[in-house]
């Protein structure tokens, strides 16, 4: 069960309805297992009991430390920028770990590749690169390191990506502990220094971004150089340098991906990726699948608990 | 755009609770509603006044039945209905996609592949109906919703009922019969073959951008439907032999839906593969925005307790119902007394003067209501075009749907409505007088020839809304071209743009265009200057905005490359005084009145700049006083330029030097809306943030009050001392203090 199949969402909602997490009733899983891309958390589309609030709900993978998961969720609430996906609701202390944010129709990047029937075009990859570089620039300017950029962390909405899974690397294991091979961490997008247990630093995000864009362009995070489209070959290759000192800065990435942007605003504070995210930036079938997901969730009724108190009369 | 529920909207429809209104028309209201389990649906109701007529009620029931027959693949799935309730209702799935007419307006004529896919799917829909002995009888672009997975056919009974009513009143301004079959137009039986005729008309519209029998006066149109040849210009050659036979006057010679589907369908790819990106982006926008809707209900006016049912709906004069059906639909959101009532809230706090002295709280506590609010919509699915209302005399005027409405600005009373005012860019005011172009009747192709029709300029009576006899008439322009434009009027002169050459629904490269000035008192053309030709199929007006200051006509002109230029001309000769690019702006965002004083023009949308009107040189730039900041559109008053700064709120600059005078205190302005220019009163500046209009005290630089509104365009009505707000479906007034 995953969120691209409308019929799935509805037909199986009855089964999922028996499951609830925090104040939410689960409707469907967001990720499809068929892509074989690790996801650092379990993600569901869920709805509050009163039917009013539909959310994207995240819970830690089994075996990961819930307190680290919650610490990252808590920190993510302060993320800024148009493409960040901060948590807006969190589990109470003592409750099983979860965090949630309002639902937006979106496909995880690996699902989008599956829907598209293969890698995405260079235009899409450049738009993604610009938007994600812009987001990381804001994160870094806030004094934070994302430490969780990976293919599954990128959710595609029709108006741009949303970067989820903040702090997935720090959640997986504390600094000083090797992180290679841990569940949920996609190996190609884990920077070597973080795999060795190093403290995540901004240039690690650059490595992970390079791997994620490589995935979008080729279908895997560790491509041969010639597999990459010529326009992004050099810059993605530099992102994937083992030595952080050889990786480009986020600002340089933004300049590279947004190079075709014909409308600099002068002030520099407008989103530079906006021009790249114009209609047509995503393949038609991906947009259609996003709309389909929205329609399926609109049509879904959750099963509420057996006994719901109903007021006998209403006072206006 | 959704509007809040009114206080007397029902609290439930079966198991669905209404959340917001999606639209309201003469026939009923459409709501977004939600079940206890969060299923979100559309609920369509019929006004109680119409439901009192058993015939209407029966048609409503038939509509529900027909919608069930067509099923969820080809139509909006019917989930529940109660056609016996006082207010009959039908709950259907909420369809994510625009009506086809809106889709074509947005994306232009659709490519052949999408029209073939669309046509084949619509054949399936009609086939489904016909096999159950149901005939649609009112297939037209506005009754077809385009989703990412194919079209859905909606609106059976009510629209048909109205269509029939119109037919008995030929000559009255009514909905278009442009897609009617000839047998229907002749009052004979419309069978399934009639639906095929209508479908072909819809496909001609989708691929060519125009209906096969044009538009215009009902009687002429009905005549052309019955006896005229269809106009298939713009239809690809490969589709002509397929669609042509469907438009045969003899219903027996038309193909069946199955035959037509077989000819149309090429069987390759998914529907979405053929949909233009712009249209798909609109579908995606609707898919996302529906999740942002939160329940909203306006409170009852104080003299009308919510417990008391207020339903004098049946007493609406008949004339008003007719007008409501004619295109411009105005109704109050607050009084609920039918489409034409109005309500002035008194004592509800909206007129309360803000407390004297600086406010301690940075965020105004209570959100106040509007002085009055009117619903404005052209159809349950339609919205008001991106245009500002005009303040003229004591009135606010607005073009919506196919009508011009005049509303008393102080009271919200609808003074008049007039039909057949399609283009909001063909009307202008100097604040006292309303000047418009009149679209002539007849064939647009004859313009400029003997016996053809000219370009007429008229003034509109502020009392009746009626157009006077033309004060100027020019036979050398084609008065039928929709992109003729009235820019502005000042000092007894009106400035306009008009074209010569063939008519089409879009620009043609062969048309030649001119800018000219006309003396209103003599009707004489003072000067005429050429404008560049627009490329074929362009739909971009030449001017985004223009105004006169002294002897300068300054305007924002859009180039063929989609860039904006600021051009200043001498009002006496039309000679260009200066011309400079206005870089980094999206044309549609700057389609707003220009901020000028006697010396400078102020432009925003990015950094804020002052340009000297006399020579176009830059006098100052906000990057000096506040580097790295971004601004919305500015307003200027009494030597101070005001603009909303992104992430901060209102900032005031000295108009001569660009020195920053003050900035809004507190962090309440972080969410300020950059798309609307602030409205400046004597003591307060009004600007939009989240879902409220805030009044910022000009003396203390702190927010003083906030008013609840989902409006997104605001203008000052100085004479009535109100701020007029326009949202997707409503017009409202707030204080201007």
3-state DSSP call for residue B615?
coil
Please, what sign has the CA dihedral across residues A39, A45, A46, A47? positive
Distance CA B502, CA B214 (A): 15
Q: What is residue B1's predicted lDDT score, i.e. its pLDDT?
A: 66
Confidence of residue A137 (pLDDT cuts 50, 70, 90): very high
Q: Which residue has the tokens 């009505």?
A: B717
pLDDT over threshold 90, residue A34: no
Mean pLDDT of the residues in chain B: 80
Mean pLDDT of the residues in chain A: 87
CB atoms within 10 A of CB B570: 13
CB atoms within 10 A of CB B39: 23
Mean pLDDT across B645-658: 90
Q: Which two tokens stand for residue B215?
A: 């538009």
Confidence of residue B266 (pLDDT cuts 50, 70, 90): low
Domains of chain B are 16-94 (3.30.200.20), 100-284 (1.10.510.10)
Q: Encode pLDDT of B204-215 as tens digits.
A: 999 999 999 987
With CB atoms and an 8 Å threshold, state whether A266 touches B583.
yes
Of A32-36, A187-191, A207-211, B452-456, the least confident: B452-456
Residue B130 in contact with residue B192, Cβ under 8 Å?
yes
DSSP for residue B313: G
Q: Encode pLDDT of B336-369 as tens digits.
A: 222 222 222 223 333 333 333 333 334 455 677 8
Q: What is residue B420's predicted lDDT score, i.e. its pLDDT?
A: 63
Q: Encode pLDDT of B605-628 as tens digits.
A: 888 999 999 999 999 999 888 888
Helix (H) or strand (E) holding A207: helix A202-218
Q: Encode pLDDT of A243-288 as tens digits.
A: 999 999 999 999 899 875 544 444 444 567 888 999 999 999 999 9
Mean pLDDT across A285-308: 84
Chain centroid offset of residue A184 CA? 13
Mean pLDDT across B669-678: 82
Q: What is residue A248's predicted lDDT score, i.e. its pLDDT?
A: 97
- Environment class of residue B529 by beta-carbon count within 10 Å: exposed (0-12), middle (13-18) or buried (19+)? middle
Mean pLDDT across B645-659: 90
Chain centroid offset of residue B732 CA? 16
B483 vs B475, B497, B508, CA distance in Å? 17, 8, 11
Confidence of residue B439 (pLDDT cuts 50, 70, 90): low
Q: What is residue B592's predicted lDDT score, i.e. its pLDDT?
A: 81
Name every residue whose Cβ is closer than 8 Å to that of residue B268 and which is 6 or more positions away in sequence.
none
Render B322-346 in DSSP notation, one character per residue.
Answer: HHHHTS-EEEESSS-S-TT------
Confidence of residue A191 (pLDDT cuts 50, 70, 90): very high
Mean pLDDT across B142-163: 73
> B562-566 long-range CB contacts below 8 Å, 24 or more apart?
B562/B587, B564/B590, B566/B601, B566/B603, B566/B611, B566/B616
What does the radius of gyration of chain B's CA atoms come to, in whole angstroms? 26
From the list B66, B221, B242, the residue with the least C-alpha distance to B158 is B66
The closest CB to that of A158, out of B11, B288, B646, belongs to B288
In the A/B pair of chains, how many CB contacts fall below 8 A? 135
Helix (H) or strand (E) holding A233: helix A230-239
Please, what sign has the CA dihedral across residues B288, B290, B291, B293? positive
Please, what sign has the CA dihedral across residues B467, B469, B474, B478? positive
With CB atoms and an 8 Å threshold, state whether B38 touches A314.
no
Q: Which two tokens stand for residue A58?
A: 């995240």
- Environment class of residue A195 by beta-carbon count within 10 Å: exposed (0-12), middle (13-18) or buried (19+)? middle
E-assigned strands of chain A? 20-21, 24-29, 41-48, 54-60, 89-90, 99-102, 107-108, 154-157, 160-163
Is A18 near chain B, with CB under 8 Å?
A: no
Greater model confidence, B336 or B106: B106
**A7, A298, A306, A307: best mutation site toward chain B, by most B Cβ within 10 Å?**
A298
Report the residue of chain A nearest B19, measured CA to CA. Answer: A52
Q: What is residue B464's predicted lDDT score, i.e. its pLDDT?
A: 83
Q: What is residue B268's predicted lDDT score, i.e. its pLDDT?
A: 73
- Environment class of residue B322 by beta-carbon count within 10 Å: exposed (0-12), middle (13-18) or buried (19+)? middle
**A24, A46, A115, A295: best mutation site toward chain B, by most B Cβ within 10 Å?**
A295
Q: Encode pLDDT of B16-30 as tens digits.
A: 999 999 887 767 889
E-assigned strands of B591-683? 595-596, 600-603, 609-612, 618-621, 635-637, 640-645, 649-654, 660-663, 679-680
Name every residue whose Cβ is closer than 8 Å to that of residue B229 and which is 6 or more positions away in sequence.
none
Confidence of residue B421 (pLDDT cuts 50, 70, 90): low
Of A43-57, B260-274, B378-392, B508-522, the least confident: B378-392
**A107, A161, A287, A302: best mutation site toward chain B, by most B Cβ within 10 Å?**
A287
Say what the alpha-carbon torsion angle B178, B182, B186, B190 is, to the nearest 10 degrees: -100
Angle at B148 between CA B144 and CA B150, to 5 degrees: 45
Strands B372-377 and B713-717, sheet pairing: unpaired
Distance CA B209, CA A225 (A): 47
pLDDT over threshold 90, residue B384: no
With CB atoms and an 8 Å threshold, state whether B37 touches A51.
yes
Render A80-147 in DSSP notation, one character per residue.
Answer: -STTB----EEPPTTSPP-EEEE----EEHHHHHHHHTSPPPHHHHHHHHHHHHHHHHHHHHTT----
Work out the percent of chain A whose per-residue pLDDT is above 90. Answer: 75
With CB atoms and an 8 Å threshold, state whether B273 touches A103.
no
3-state DSSP call for residue A52?
coil
Confidence of residue A206 (pLDDT cuts 50, 70, 90): very high
Q: What is residue B737's predicted lDDT score, i.e. its pLDDT?
A: 86
Per-residue three-class SS string for B139-187? CCHHHEEEECCEEEECCCHHHHHHHHHHHCCECECCCCCCCCCHHHHCC
């Amino acid at each position: 069960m995953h969120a691209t199949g409308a019929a799935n969402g509805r037909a199986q909602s009855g089964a999922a309805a028996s499951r609830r997490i925090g104040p939410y009733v689960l409707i469907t899983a967001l990720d499809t297992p068929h892509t074989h891309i690790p996801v650092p958390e379990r993600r569901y589309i869920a709805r509050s009991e009163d039917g009013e609030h539909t959310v994207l709900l995240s819970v830690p993978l089994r075996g990961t430390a819930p307190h680290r998961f919650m610490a990252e969720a808590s920190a993510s609430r302060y993320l800024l920028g148009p493409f960040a996906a901060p948590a807006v609701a969190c589990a109470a202390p003592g409750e099983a770990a979860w965090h949630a944010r309002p639902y937006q129709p979106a496909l995880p990047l690996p699902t989008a590749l599956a829907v598209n029937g293969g890698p995405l075009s260079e235009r899409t990859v450049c738009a993604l690169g610009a938007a994600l570089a812009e987001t990381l620039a804001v994160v870094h300017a806030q004094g934070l390191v994302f430490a969780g950029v990976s293919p599954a962390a990128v959710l595609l909405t029709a108006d741009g990506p949303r970067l989820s899974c903040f702090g997935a690397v720090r959640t997986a294991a504390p600094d000083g502990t090797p992180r290679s091979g841990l569940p949920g961490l996609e190996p190609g997008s884990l920077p070597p220094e973080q795999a060795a247990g190093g403290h995540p630093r901004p240039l690690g995000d650059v490595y992970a971004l390079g791997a994620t864009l490589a995935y979008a362009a080729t279908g895997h995070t560790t491509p041969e150089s010639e597999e990459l489209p010529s326009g992004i070959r050099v810059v993605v290759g530099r992102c994937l340098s083992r030595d952080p000192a050889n990786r480009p800065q986020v600002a340089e990435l933004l300049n590279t991906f947004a190079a075709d942007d014909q409308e600099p605003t002068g002030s520099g504070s407008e989103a530079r990726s906006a021009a790249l995210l114009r209609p047509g930036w995503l393949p038609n079938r991906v947009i259609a699948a996003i709309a389909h997901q929205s329609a399926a969730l609109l049509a879904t009724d959750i099963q509420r608990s057996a006994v719901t108190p109903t007021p006998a009369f209403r006072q206006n | 755009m959704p509007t809040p529920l009114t206080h007397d909207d029902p609290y439930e429809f079966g198991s669905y609770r209404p959340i917001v209104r999606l639209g309201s028309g003469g026939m009923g209201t459409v709501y977004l509603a939600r079940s206890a389990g969060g299923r979100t649906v559309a609920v369509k109701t019929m006004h109680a006044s119409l439901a009192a007529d058993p015939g209407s009620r029966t048609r409503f029931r038939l509509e529900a039945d027909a919608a069930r027959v067509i099923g969820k693949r080809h139509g909006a799935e019917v989930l529940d209905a109660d056609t016996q309730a006082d207010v009959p209702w039908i709950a259907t799935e909420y369809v994510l996609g625009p009506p086809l007419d809106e889709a074509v307006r947005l994306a232009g004529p659709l490519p052949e592949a999408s029209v073939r896919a669309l046509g084949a799917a619509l054949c399936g829909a009609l086939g489904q109906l016909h096999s159950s002995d149901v005939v649609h009888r009112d297939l037209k672009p506005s009754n077809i919703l385009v989703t990412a997975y194919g079209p859905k056919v909606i609106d059976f009974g009510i629209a048909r009922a109205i269509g029939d009513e119109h037919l008995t009143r030929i000559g009255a301004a009514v909905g278009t019969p442009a897609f009617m079959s000839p047998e229907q137009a002749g009052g004979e039986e419309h069978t399934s073959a009639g639906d095929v005729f209508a479908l072909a008309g819809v496909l001609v519209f989708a691929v060519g951008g125009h209906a096969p029998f044009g538009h215009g006066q009902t009687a002429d149109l009905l005549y052309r439907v019955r006896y005229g040849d269809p106009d298939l210009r713009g239809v690809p050659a490969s589709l002509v032999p397929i669609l042509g036979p469907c438009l045969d006057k003899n219903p027996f010679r038309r193909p069946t839906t199955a035959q037509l589907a077989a000819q149309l369908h090429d069987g390759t790819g998914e529907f979405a593969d053929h949909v233009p990106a712009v249209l798909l982006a609109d579908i995606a926008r609707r898919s996302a925005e529906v999740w942002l809707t939160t329940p909203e209900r306006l409170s009852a006016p104080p003299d009308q307790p919510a417990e008391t049912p207020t339903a004098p709906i049946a007493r609406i004069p008949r004339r008003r119902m007719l007008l409501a059906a004619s295109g411009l639909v105005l109704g109050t959101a607050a009084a609920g007394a039918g489409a034409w009532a109005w309500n002035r809230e008194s004592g509800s706090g909206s007129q309360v003067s803000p407390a004297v002295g600086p406010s301690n709280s940075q965020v105004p506590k209570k959100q106040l209501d509007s002085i009055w609010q009117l619903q404005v919509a052209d159809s349950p699915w339609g919205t008001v075009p991106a245009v500002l209302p005009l303040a003229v005399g004591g009135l606010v005027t607005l073009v919506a749907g196919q009508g011009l409405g005049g509303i008393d600005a102080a009271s919200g009373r609808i003074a008049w409505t007039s039909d057949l005012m399609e283009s909001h860019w063909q009307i202008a005011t100097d604040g006292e007088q309303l000047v418009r172009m009149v679209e002539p009747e007849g064939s647009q192709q004859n313009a400029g020839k003997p016996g053809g029709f000219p370009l007429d300029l008229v003034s509109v009576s502020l009392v009746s809304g009626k157009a006077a006899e033309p004060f100027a008439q020019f036979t050398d322009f084609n008065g039928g071209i929709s992109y003729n434009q009235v820019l502005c009027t000042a000092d007894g002169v009106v400035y306009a743009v008009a074209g010569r050459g063939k008519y089409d629904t879009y620009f043609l490269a062969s048309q030649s265009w001119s800018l000219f000035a006309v003396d209103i008192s003599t009707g004489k053309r003072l000067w005429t200057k050429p404008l560049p030709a627009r490329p074929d199929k362009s739909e971009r007006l030449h001017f985004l905005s223009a105004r006169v200051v002294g002897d300068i006509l300054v305007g924002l002109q859009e180039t063929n490359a989609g860039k904006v230029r600021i051009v200043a001309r001498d009002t006496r000769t039309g000679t260009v005084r200066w011309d400079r690019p206005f870089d980094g702006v999206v044309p549609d965002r700057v389609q707003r009145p220009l901020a000028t004083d006697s010396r400078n023009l102020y432009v925003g949308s990015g950094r804020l700049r002052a340009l000297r009107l006399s020579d176009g040189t830059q006098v100052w730039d906000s990057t000096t006083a506040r580097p790295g900041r971004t601004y919305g559109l500015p307003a200027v008053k009494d030597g101070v330029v005001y603009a909303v700064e992104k992430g901060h709120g209102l900032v005031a600059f000295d108009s001569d030097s660009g020195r920053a005078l003050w900035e809004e205190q507190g962090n309440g302005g972080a969410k300020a809306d950059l798309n609307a220019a602030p409205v400046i009163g004597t003591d307060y500046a009004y600007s939009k943030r989240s879902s409220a209009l805030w009044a910022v005290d000009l003396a203390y630089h702190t927010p003083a009050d906030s008013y609840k509104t989902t409006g997104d365009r605001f203008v000052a009505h100085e004479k009535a001392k109100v701020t007029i707000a326009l949202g997707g479906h409503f017009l409202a007034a707030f204080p201007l203090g």
